[in-house]
Each structure stands twice: as structure tokens, then as C-alpha cells.
Structure 1
Amino acid sequence: MAQNTSAEPKAAEEQKFAPTLGAGAALGAKDGGVHSRASRRTTYLALFVVVVVVVLGLALGLGLGLGLKHSNKGQPNSTAGSPSPSNSSSPSEDSQASMVVPPWRSNVEDYTLDIASWDFNALPTTREYNFTVSEIELSPDGVFRPVVAINGRFPGPLIRANMGDRLLIHVQNNLPNGTAFHWHGLYQNGTNWMDGTSGITQCPIPPGASFTYNFTVENQFGTYWYHTHYSTTNGDGPVGPLIIHSPDELKMQKYYDVDQVVLIQDWYHDYSQALLPDYLASGSENSEPVPDNGVIQGTNYFNCSAVDSDSGYVCEQNSTRAVFTVQHGKRYRYRLINTGAFATFEFSIDNHPLFVIEADGTATEPLPVHRLDIAVAQRYSIVVNANQSAGSNYWMRAQMNTFCFGGPNPVLDPNVRALITYANNTDEPTNSTDWKDAMDVQCVGLNSSLLTPFFESEAPPATTMYAIAANFQIGDYALDRAYINGTSWVMADVPTLNQAVAGLQAANTSFTSSGVSSAFSANQYIIDIPDYAVVDLLITNYDEGAHPFHLHGHTFWVLASSPDQYFDWSTYGGLNKTLSNVMRRDTLMIDAYGWALLRFKADNPGLWALHCHISWHMEAGLLMQFQARNDIMRTWTIPSDVLELCLA
């Protein structure tokens, strides 16, 4: 199996940078065994050109992602096929002079965090945001399609707060269908009804209606994000970063000088709801829609000549790549977020080693890598030392792992790129070299056992254990559905949280029996966890594809994982004890035909989803729930505005 981190640092620039970060964590190969933490004409004319260059330079210096534009102005023709590297030509002078950031595009500046003036020690306050969600025709990569935009922009706005702050996010739904927003990675302790999970913690916000998410962020900080949690619409554009700060973050700033968010996602030229029926149709086993492109910061180049003339697509050869301006000698923290629907990416920057310092909100000791696997919904912070030639440009790469796809897409160029520029220009790199480390030849994620938490914690012994099996089966009418322990999830008309609170208050004993609950419909697999339990969860993946599983409302310790099919129960005794400084996260890639052993404290009251974050798989039913802290839930009164969503 190919190593999914990279070769050991050996270049001079890596050795120079390493002492700045400290010793870091040792690199290790991802092998087939168990991984355990217990183990990018005239003088006037000349003057005009100079002015243009200066203006562009100032704009780039401020972090504006003007984009690397392409001079190929051809229209779509009837020749279909894979985009050729020869079409990625350098921008001409006139194209550089005419570059304008579309008013709908969020760019590099929007996601650059001002850490010099931010008060990390400020007293808790209330921060308000207004979201108007609507469907508009946009062309993030040159191909026009309906995009679910927030405030007319794609990607969505940056939400930024301190730990302890209260967030009020007012959502106006101008879509033709319902919607709900999930704040990915946030605990929502005491506000389970604000988790934004359609059919579980709320009914969708109806078309034309509004709703306010109101919650306080406590006991966590780091890199998070938000997205819709209604069917597959999160892949159509309504995503954005959510950054939580803390005084403890100041201890991490010894590693970097600049802090930026980088959104990476796969991109489809069709609306997700148009693709979904074919995926869920009979005889469509292992046929997830393969992306047409990928975008970084909501933009990328696409070769219009790859589009069939009779396809119905409108494609303008004016697409751009994102531009990240760096200053020689500074160290950059890039908060990477995979906001896509399906693809796993291998992230790298030519000629620049990476140092991982955070995963899913957990700060880590620096881990040196050349390539970094980032699955759907995962977040990693990496530090890059801008120590290369001051007049050069380099490629930032987010290469899709095509081994995760069930088939090819002839128009897809999986090598998604953005520009790292030291020279404040958008010239195509000439001395940029991809790392020689082998690309993955399997659909895998980063081995979590390589990561060591920066802030130590202990995982207490488990008091209960559950084993779940995830697989796909051909069901009624030859439909290929996803199952967890034999149950294929379907969104409930009445949220399971509403059902549980009402049942507990009515002293209905079917809602209080520990284990698999019988109180809900047959398409809701819910485990009722005893109060105060510490849970060990063994997830076995019986599918030929890897799955990024996300647990709402919690972080879990990753005790062990393996690509082998079966867990060796004889090893469990050595793991079911207090374990020191085990890696914690909220989204984990579980290998095809492999397993992972996770541990979490079930101290957060409510109904919490555990699901594969590949949009197609969740819609196919790969979701279950945990019911926790009945003793608290029975005292709850769900806010009236939440309940009223179900009356529309």
C-alpha cells in the first residue's frame, strides 16, 4: 500500500524549517496492521502597464484571489475528452489586465484571519450573522449551473467567534425546497435542537420562511465549518468556514505568522437533485456520480472543449484559479476544509513541505508530510514556510483520489490547482515541481495514529460497547441501499428528537430501554445509551469503498483502526483502559473492508447522528443515531420556533 503521508523530510528547506516547529511527530508508513495510539508603442502605454501591474500587485498583496486566468477563449465544441495539460496556458497580458473578481465569488481575502487585532481573551459576546439562501446561476469553473448561494455568494461567509461566544445566525430560506444548517463539529451541548439535522433535530426550514440558530460555543476551539443538512444540497454550494478561537490558540501561534482558510471541494456541473435519481435507481450499485471538476476557494479552470456541443451546458472559457500571495520568510497556516460531496483529496504544495498542526479541531504536535489525505468533511491545519525563491510561483495541488470513484468521468481533470505566488503576479509557474512521493493507489485517509494532540487528555475506560456494521445491499425493487446493522435510514417526518422528548416526558418506557431502541420507526436505527456512559464503538465497513464517518455532538478518541476485515477481540482488553493523549477528532475515514475502534463520552444530551459524510451515501441510508442522557432530555422544553418548523 502506498504511504499516505510522504517520505521523510530530506530537502534543505525542510531541515531549515523543522527546528522552528520543534521536533514534530515521526513519520510512519500506513501498513496493513492495526494502528493504535496505545502504540500552490509609447511611453504612456508603458506607464499604463506599470500602473496596472502596481494595482494588481497591491490587490494581491492584500490577499485578493484574482485568479490565474487562461488565454484560451475558444467556445465549446463537439470534441469530448479529458482536459489536456496543454490547455492550461499562461495568461496573456490583456487577460491579466482585465481580470475582475466576480461579485458573487468569495476569495482569499474573505478567508484571511486578522490575528493581530483579534482579541483572543475578550469576554464572551453575541455575534450575529444573516444568511439569505437562494438559488442563482453561477459559473465557478466557467460552466454555468444553479448554485445554492448564501447572500448571493459562493462559497459562504466566514463565521468567526471566540470560545464562550453566543452565535445568532438568521437564515432566510429563498429556495424552492426546505433546508437546514448544520454547524459541523460543534458540540451543541444543551442546544441539541440547533444541530441543524433535518429529520433528527429539526424539521427543514420551509421555502420562504426564516429561522434563527441560537447557540453558545463552549469547551472547544479550532477549525469547523457549516453546510446544509437536507438531502444532498450541501454539494450545490451552501458551505462556509466556522472558526472558533481561544486563548489557548496563542500557544499555537509560535508556529505561524499568517492564518488563512482554504476550502477544497469536488464540483458537479449538474444540480445534485438531478443526479440523485439515477444513483438511487435500481441496478445502480456502486455508481456514485463522479465529479466534473474540483474547486479551491470556489474556483478553478475548466477546459470548455471537453464539453459536448449538444450537452446543454453553457461554458465560457474565462475561468480562473485561486491565487494565494505569500511573503518570503513568513510562515502560513492554511486551515484546509474539504467541503465536498464525495472526493478525497491529496493536498500538497510544490517545493514546500507541510506540517500538520490540527485535525478536526484538535491541535496537534507538528507532523511533517509532503502530501496530506483529506476526506470529505475533514479539516486539517498545515503550516507552510514561504522560504523558496522570492520571484517565483508554485502550484498548490488538491489531487482527487480517483481510486475512491466507481468509474471514470472523461471531462474530469483530477489535478485541481491554485497558485502560490511570491511575485504578486499570476504567471504560470516555471520551476514548480510536484513531490516525487507516490500517490495513493487505494482510497485511504491519513493514519490518525501519526497525530499527537498538542494539549494532552486521557481517554477513560469504556463502560459499554457497541458494534455496528456498514454495508450496501440490493433491496426491494433492486434498489441499492446503505445499511447500518440492517437498517437503512430515511429522514423522519417528525424529528426523532421531538419524538424522544415527548416520549420521555410521557414516561413511555420504550424510550428508556438501553440498547437498540424500539420506540421509533423501522427506518431509524437508534441506540439509547445509559446515562454517564463511556462508549466504545466498533465500526466495521463491509463495503468495497472507504467511508468518512462523522459523529455529531462529540469528538471521539481513535483507539485503533485497520484495513483488515475483522477486529481481533483478543486485543480489546489492552485497549479498554485509561489511554493517554490519544488522537481526538469528529470525522474518520474507515477503510474499505476495514474497521475502526472509537471511544467517546456520552455526556451530551440529545439525539446525535453518526453517518457517512459522502452525500450520496447518506441519502442512500448510511446513518444511525445515538440517544444520550435521558435524565436531562426529559426535563427539556424544545423551543417553540423549532417546533413550529414542523407545522408549516
Structure 2
Amino acid sequence: MEGAAMLVPLLLALCAAMASAAVVEHNFTVGGMNISQLCMDSVIYTANEQMPGPTIEATEGDTVVVHVVNDSPYPLSLHWHGIFQLLSGWADGAHMITECPIQPAGNFTYRFNITGQEGTLWWHAHSSLLRATVYGALIIKPRNGTDGYPYAAPYGEIPIILGEWWNKNVDDVEKDAHLTGLGPEVSDALTINGKPGDQTPCRGAGIFEVEVEYNQTYLLRIINAAVNVELFFKVAGHNFTVVAIDASYTEPYATDVIVPGGGWTVIRFVANNPGMWFMHCHLDAHLPLGLAMVFEVLNGAAPNILPPPPEDFPKCY
């Protein structure tokens, strides 16, 4: 009887966790978008005509379902960078590695569970250099909310995605790189949340700005979506604490410059220095390319067999 009495609370807890899990569903259409950037009018390819694309927010234990329509002229897939894909390898989105791409005018539904992960990841196109414009944040919250953080809950959270911008078609950038045998040519701008800074007076330019309250603590979810460059990120006038790197909490340490790699870094800082401050790349050579933003401090157990691929799995041609 004593064993049965102990089993009941465990079963109730398991049922509660299962009941609280949700299905997070999105519809993405990857297609052309007109944009004016760096004094040039261009057509780029994005998800839902957004750059960065839509942010996916889920909770640990949820199932993510993303219906993708390929309205571009390129075969492509979407990769969920950092997701474990336990028994869902068909949804990994690694073009010509785990699957064939979604052909132009085709569609595919990605479905995967988020198990044992929380933090800041990202998603991006996995073909050609389309990842330069087809990307977005993937944020996984703890099952029990901000109480699940291994640090005090922040006053606010701000996703920041660093990227690169070419005036040329990114497919041509990749083709030129293949011809030379080198990496992609230097980008024409570096961006924060899609904005290239105020290096030109033309329409479409701009700096990403955010207002923060004096003496409050903020969590910055920083993602390096740049294709081929390391970026040194600094918050002027403030120190901050690094609390997570590459989908894992880390022993907190204080610094004033970080170098997020091809993944993400989460930092906490207290907005205790009133005024307007740059968040920017700490390499002088990158500042003229636009990598800067402004923040204003105001007022101071499972089966081990991989399921078969879904019926609508993309086919190679």
C-alpha cells in the first residue's frame, strides 16, 4: 500500500505535465519580398515577408508544427538549429543530408517535439545562402515559466539577431564563391534585427531601437545569424552577465564583450546608466557596416526506433 501511495502523486504529476504540453503551430510561406536597403531596391526571399522571420516561442515539452510553402524559385529546406530531433530526424531540415529539399511550388510540414531543452535557438533556410534572409528566433521557455530560470526572473526579454546583408542576390554570392574557391565576398552591411544602421541617408536605413526602464534587469537573447563572420558584441556604458551559451545554462560570469559563434548567447544586464547607448560590434572595421543598435534607459523514457518518413516527405529530382 505504501508503494501504491507513492505512485499516485508521480502519476498525477506526469498527467499534469502531459496536460500542460501544447501544440505550437505556424504557417510559413517562403517567397519574394520587395525591400529598399542601402539605397538600393531589391527582391529578397524571406518567410512571411519578414526579415528576421517569425519568432517561434514554445515551452519545453511542446510539439512544434510548421507548415512550409515554398513560393521561391529555389529548392530549400528549413533547419531548426540546435533542436535534438529525438525520433524526428525527418524534420531536421538539413538539405541533402537528412532529406531532400522542398521543390519550388511544393510544401512540407515539419513536426517535432521539444524534449529536455530550453533557451534560445534559431531556425534558417538550409540551401544556398538563403539563410542570409530566411531566418528567425526559436525560443524555448521553461515548463514552469520564469520560475524555471536558474537566476532571478528578468524585467524584460529582448531577442537580438545579428546578420549580414549583400546588395547582390545571395545565390550569385554563393556562385561567385564557388568560382574563386574562397568564402563569400565581404557583405555590404551587418544588421541587427534586419536593420543595417544609419550608414546611408536613404529610405529603408535605420537603427534598431529599444527602450528600457532604469535600474531594471533585462535578458538579451543574442543570435549570430551571420553567414561567415565573427562578431564582437558590446553594450556601451554597461557590464553584463553571460548566463547561457549554445542552448545550455552556464556558470554566470561578468564581462563587457562577447563573441557569439554560430549559435546564441544569453546575457543579463541592469539598465543602471540613464541615457542613450549603443549596442554594437566591438571591431572598429565592422561599425561602418552598420552593426549597431540603440537602447534608451528611461527613468533611470522513449522508443528507440525512428518512425518512417511522412507521406509528404520531399522527393529528390
Same fold (TM over 0.5): yes
Q: Select the structure that is richer in strand.
A: 2
Q: Give the secondary-structure state (helix, strand or coil) at the position aligned to 1:144.
A: strand
**Preserved CA contact (<8 Å) 1:158 1:242:** yes
1:209 pairs, out of 106, 119, 125, with: 106
- Distance of 1:340 and 1:260 partners within structure 2: 18
Q: Say if 2:64 and 2:111, in contact at 8 Å, map to a contact too.
A: yes
Question: Given that residues 93 and 126 in structure 2 are in contact (C-alpha distance below 8 angstroms), is that contact kept between their aligned partners in structure 1?
Answer: yes
How far apart, in 2, do the equivalents of 1:144 and 1:252 lie?
A: 46
- Equivalent residue of 2:160, what SS? strand
- The correspondence for 1:293, drawn from 185, 189, 192, is 189
* Distance in 1 separating the partners of 2:127 and 2:176: 19
- For the residue of structure 2 that corresponds to 1:280, the secondary structure is helix
Mapping of 1:32-47 within 5 angstroms? Answer: none
User: SS in structure 1 opposite 2:27?
Assistant: strand
Aligned equivalent of 1:243, options 139, 147, 156: 139
2:116 to 219, 244, 248: 219
| Whole-Å separation in 1 of the counterparts to 2:193 and 2:78 | 20
Residue equivalent to 2:266: 381
Q: Secondary structure at the match of 2:190?
A: strand
Q: Given the two structures, how large is their TM-score scaled by the length of structure 2?
A: 0.86
Q: Which secondary structure state, in structure 2, belongs to the residue aligned with residue 641 of structure 1?
A: coil
Q: Report the counterpart of residue 8 of structure 2 in structure 1.
A: none
Q: Tell me what 1:398 maps to.
A: 281
Change over 3 Å in CA distance of 1:317–1:130 after alignment to 2:
closer
SS at match of 1:413: helix
Q: CA deviation at 1:121?
A: 10
Residue type at the aligned position of 2:102: I
Offset from partner CA, 1:213-270 (integer Å, 9 cap, x none): 01111111111000011122101x1100001112475233505221111111122111
Q: Which residue of 2 aligns with 1:102?
A: none
Query: CA distance change for structure 1 residues 247 and 342 in 2, over 3 Å: closer, same or farther?
Result: same
Contact 1:360 1:378 in 2 (8 A): yes
SS of the aligned residue for 1:646 comes to coil
The answer as to whether partners of 1:141 and 1:302 remain within 8 angstroms in 2 is no
The answer to whether the 8 Å contact 1:344/1:400 transfers is no
- Equivalent pair of 2:38/2:205 in contact (CA under 8 Å): yes
1:384, CA displacement in angstroms? 1.2
Structure 2 CA distance for aligned equivalents of residues 188 and 368 of structure 1:
33
Return the alpha-carbon distance in structure 2 between the equivalents of residues 287 and 197 of structure 1. Answer: 20
Aligned: 1:184 with 2:81: yes
1:303 Cα offset (Å): 3.7
**Structure 2 vs 1, CA of residues 286 and 203 (structure 1 numbering), >3 Å: closer, same or farther?**
closer
* Secondary structure in 2 matching 1:186: coil
Q: 2:312 aligns to what SS in structure 1?
A: helix
Structure 1 moving runs of 4+ over 3 Å: 140-143, 285-288, 302-305, 399-403
After TM superposition, list the pairs within 5 Å mapping 1:69-148 onto structure 2.
123-148=20-45
| Structure 2 portions without partners, runs of 5+ | 1-16
Q: Which amino acid aligns with 2:112?
A: F
User: 2:312 — aligned with what?
Assistant: 641
**CA displacement 1:376-435 (0-9 Å, x = unmatched):** x2200001100012xx111111245869xxxxxxxx8246211111249xxxxxxxxxxx
Assess if the C-alpha contact under 8 Å between 1:344 and 1:374 holds in 2: yes
Which has more radius of gyration?
A: 1
Query: Contact (CA 8 Å) 2:36, 2:203: kept in 1 or not?
Result: no
For 1:337-370, what per-residue CA distance to the aligned partner results, in whole angstroms no more than 9, with x for missing partners? 0111111111011111021001011012221111
Give the equivalent residue in structure 2 for 1:357.
243
AA partner of residue 288 (structure 2): D
Structure 2 partner of 1:319: 205
Identity of aligned residues (%): 26
- Given residue 244 of structure 2, which amino acid in structure 1 is its aligned partner? E
AA at the equivalent of 1:346: F
- Between the aligned partners of 2:71 and 2:282, the Cα distance in structure 1 is 34
Indicate how the Cα distance of structure 1 residues 141 and 421 shifts in structure 2: closer, same or farther if over 3 A, else same.
farther
Counterpart amino acid of residue 345 in structure 1: L
Q: Report deviation, 1:139.
A: 2.5
1:261 aligns with 2:177: no
Question: Which amino acid in 2 is paired with 1:335?
Answer: R
Q: Say how many residue pairs are matched.
A: 297
For residues 612-636 of structure 1, the C-alpha deviation after alignment (integer angstroms, 9 at most, x for no partner) is xxxxxxxxxxxxxxxxxxx845xx4
Contact 1:221 1:246 in 2 (8 A): yes
CA distance in 2: counterparts of 1:349 and 1:140, whole angstroms: 25
What does residue range 266-345 of structure 1 map to in structure 2 within 5 Å?
Answer: 266-281=164-179, 284-286=180-182, 288-304=184-200, 316-345=202-231
Deviations 1:175-202 (A, max 9, x none): 0111100000000010111000111111
TM-score by length of structure 1 reads 0.43
Please list, as runs of the form range in 1=range in 2, the aligned pairs for 1:402-441 lying within 5 A after superposition.
Answer: 413-414=288-289, 416-423=291-298
Q: Which residue of 2 aligns with 1:67?
A: none
Mark the runs of 5 or more structure 1 residues left unpaired by the alignment.
1-119, 306-315, 404-411, 425-603, 606-630
SS in 1 for 2:99: coil
Cα distance in 1, alignment partners of residues 33 and 225 from structure 2:
19
Shift of the 394–121 alpha-carbon distance from structure 1 to 2, 3 Å rule, reads farther
